[in-house]
Structure formats: structure tokens, C-alpha cells
Structure 1
Amino acid sequence: MIYVVFVEPESPGNIGFLARTMKNFGLTNLVLINPCELKNESYYQAMHARDVVSNCEIYETLEEFLEKANISTAVATTGNAGGSYNISKIAVTPETLSDSINYGGNICLIFGREGNGLSNQEIALCDVIVSIPTHEEYQIMNVTHAAAIIFYELFKKEKSYPVDTLEPASAQEKKSLTAIMDEIIVKLGYPEHKTKNAQLVFDRIIQRAFITGREAHTLKGTLRRINLRTKEK
């Protein structure tokens, strides 16, 4: 089970935004540590995730929650991974976290205050620190934006999209496309060097693009008709 823990949220709206982000990625267990008052704004901003706000658990301290919830892995989030000599653990990226975390027990993802994040004491209670690489000019992200990135990295391991009808075009299918286009380009009467350049560019585009077999079949039919109607120069 994955818990999302928001420590001392200062804005009722951000609680709603976080709940909404959680539900986007199939997470429903919201825990608030010594939060501000839950107001209508929390439910309004949650939109279709109002149930996540309604069912949230509230604790006075992070220590109390970690003890009662039988957490196997506590993950702290921070925007100041590098350069803080007070942080005793090495921060990992969300992708690394997703690859290495053990989903067997109770996991909690802990997000800090909007103003100054988690304290060093709170971070010390955690097993792992995760940080999102950002530009040096503005390194600190909004808590819900950071949460969305972390949730996505965890969720993409579970989500599979239906790709039965999206079979990529084979090498032979791509080759037949470039062969027909080569004939068309020759018919245009370009100088030899321009003909070769045009053929090379089309070939590179086709090889680089993700084209399904169905798309290749349709494009091939179109190019054949163009080829038939193009007169030799």
C-alpha cells in the first residue's frame, strides 16, 4: 500500500490539488500531518478526488504516523538534494526510486511544507530521499507538480496501454516506401545531387519516425498513385 503524506500543509487548496493529482495515478491514501483547516476550497480543488480528501487520515506528528502505519519504506522528498551538508542520505531521482523500491510492504511518500519543505529531523526518519533534477535558476517546485512527477514514475511501471493495433511498420515496409518515393523524386527532374539529397532526406524521415504497419500501407497506396500520375521528365 502506498500512502501520500503531506506535512503541515499551509493551503487548503493545495490539499485538494494533491488529492486530485493522486487520483490521476490511482492513489487514494492521503495522510495529513498537523494540517491547516480543511475548507470548501480543499474539496473544490480536488474536483473528482473529493473522496480522497474526505477519507484522509490526520496525525499530529510524522513520527506518530510512521509508528502506527507500520511503514516498511518511508520516502522523503526534497528540492535541495545537493549541497546541504545536513542531509545524511544521498538523494535519488524519481526514476531510480521507481526501479529500486520494494512494493511488498507499506510505502509512504512524504511531501513537506509549501514554504520550507521537510526539516532535517523529519528527513532523518526516512529510509530514502528522492529529488527531482531542476534548473539551477529555480530549483524548488510546487508540491503538487513534484508529486505528479514522482507518481508518474511509480505508476508507469503498472500501467499498460493497448498496443495490439499499433504494430510498428517492418523494415521491409519502410524500405518499400522509400523505393516508391525514390522513383517519384527521379521523375521530378532534379539535378543528380539534389535527387540524391531528396531521397536521403525522405529515407531518414521514414527510418526515424514511428509508423505503424497500417499507416505504412496507407501511405504506400498514396505514393503509388502519385507515382503513376507523375510523368517522366
Structure 2
Amino acid sequence: MIYVVFVEPESPGNIGFLARTMKNFGLTNLVLINPCELKNESYFQAMHARDVVSNSVTYDSLENFLIDAKIDSAVGTTGTAGGSYNVARIAVSPEQLADSINYQGNVALIFGREGNGLSNQEIKLCDVIVSIPTHDYYPILNITHAAAIIFYEMFKREKSYPVDGLEAATKAEKESLMIYMEDIIQKLGYPTHKSKNASLVFKRIIERAFISGREAHTLKGTLRRINARIKEKGNEGEK
């Protein structure tokens, strides 16, 4: 189970905004640590996530919540990641967090105060610290912006966007394209080193490309026709 924990929120509106962001990514367990008073603004800004606000639970301290909820992984967030001189603040990126976190246990994603973030003592309670790379000129993100980035990295591994009749090209289909292209390159009479470079470039393009099976089939047909036309021209030249 994933809990989203907001430590000492100062603005009722930000509670609503966070709830709304949570619901965008299927998260419903909001925990408020020593919060400001919930007002109409919280529910207004939450929009269709008012239930997340209504069902939120309140604790007087982060430590008490972590103990009471039997949290297996406490993930703190910070905008000022440390280095080797400050082991407690060595941070991972949201992507690294999403790749390594154990979703089977109880996970707490902990966001600090709007102004000061998490205290050093609160960070020491965390098992992992996550930080979002930002520009040095203005490194601190609004809590809901930071939350959206972290939620997205976690959620994108569960969500796919299937389109009827659209399937990604298989490895075999991409390799088939390479066979046709290499045959064409050989017929062009390039020097050996240029043939190798041309084949390598095409291979890299195809490997990076997010093409569908239908697109691969169409491209394969085009390469086949080009190959046949080159062969025809070659036969005409030999007569």
C-alpha cells in the first residue's frame, strides 16, 4: 500500500492540489502530519478528488505515523540532495526510485513543508531520499509539481496506452528491415567502410524507432521495391 504523507502543510489549497494530483495517478491514501485547518479551499482545489481529502488521516508526528502504519519503506523528498559529506541526504532520482522500490510492502512517500521541506530529523527517519533534478537558478519545486513527477515515474510502469490494431514492431520485423537495407547498400557499390557505416546508421535508427508492425511492414515493402528496381537497372546495364 502506498501512503502519501504531507508534513505540516501550511496551505489548505495545497492539500487539495496534492489530493487532486494523487487521484490522477490512482493514489488515495493521504496522511497529514500536524496540518493546518482543512477549509473549503482544500475541497475546492481537489476538484474530483474531494474524497481523498475527506478520507485523509491526521497524525501529530511523522514518527508516530511510520510506527502505527508499519511502514516498510519510508521515502523522503528533498530539493537539496547531499553528497558523500552528508550520507543522510544522498538521493536517488524519481526514475531510480520507481525501478527499485518494493511495491509489495507499505510505502510512505513523504513530502515536506512548503517553505522548509523536511527537517534533518525527519530525513533520518527515511529509508530513501529522492530528489528531482532542477535548474540551479530555481531548484525548489512546488509540492504538487514534485509529487506529479514522482507519481508519474511510479505509475508509468503500470499503465499502457493500447490502440486498436496498433502493435509495436517485433525484433524479428526490425531485423527483416535490416536485411533488405543491407542488400540495397551492397548494390550501391559503396566502399566497404562506407557500406558498414551506412548499415550501422540505419540499424541504430531502426533500433531507436518506436514503429508499429504495420509501419515496419510498409517500410519493408518499400525497401523490397527499391531493391527490385536497383536490380532491374543493373540487369539493363549488363545488356
Give TM-score, length-normalised by structure 2. 0.73
Q: Flag the 1:46–1:176 CA change in 2: closer, same or farther, 3 A.
A: farther
Q: Flag the 1:203–1:63 CA change in 2: closer, same or farther, 3 A.
A: closer
Alignment RMSD:
3.6
Q: Flag the 1:179–1:5 CA change in 2: closer, same or farther, 3 A.
A: same
Q: Distance in 1 between matches of 2:220 and 2:80?
A: 53
Q: Distance in 1 between matches of 2:13 and 2:144?
A: 11
Is 2:160 the counterpart of 1:156?
no
* Shift in Å, 1:102: 2.1
Opposite residue 64 of structure 1, the aligned amino acid is N
* Shift in Å, 1:144: 1.0
* Shift in Å, 1:213: 2.7
Aligned to 2:169: 167
Task: Describe the superposition over 1:131-190 as per-residue Cα deviations: whole angstroms up to 9, x where unpaired.
Answer: 11222222111111111111122223333443763335534347768999xxxxx9xxxx
Q: Distance in 2 between matches of 1:119 and 1:139?
A: 18
Aligned to 2:228: none
How many equivalent residue pairs? Answer: 223
Q: Distance in 2 between matches of 1:206 and 1:86?
A: 44
Q: Is the 8 A contact 1:8 1:32 kept in 2?
A: yes
* Structure 2: unaligned runs, 5 residues or longer: 189-193, 226-232, 234-239
Task: Describe the superposition over 1:62-114 as per-residue Cα deviations: whole angstroms up to 9, x where unpaired.
Answer: 12211211111111111111269666352222222222222232110100011
Opposite residue 80 of structure 1, the aligned amino acid is T
Aligned to 1:115: 115
Task: Describe the superposition over 1:20-62 as per-residue Cα deviations: whole angstroms up to 9, x where unpaired.
Answer: 1111211110001111221222122222211111111111211
Opposite residue 71 of structure 1, the aligned amino acid is I
Query: Identity rate of aligned residues, in percent?
Result: 74
Q: Distance in 2 between matches of 1:56 and 1:108?
A: 14
* 1:199-210 → structure 2 map (5 Å cutoff): 209-210=209-210
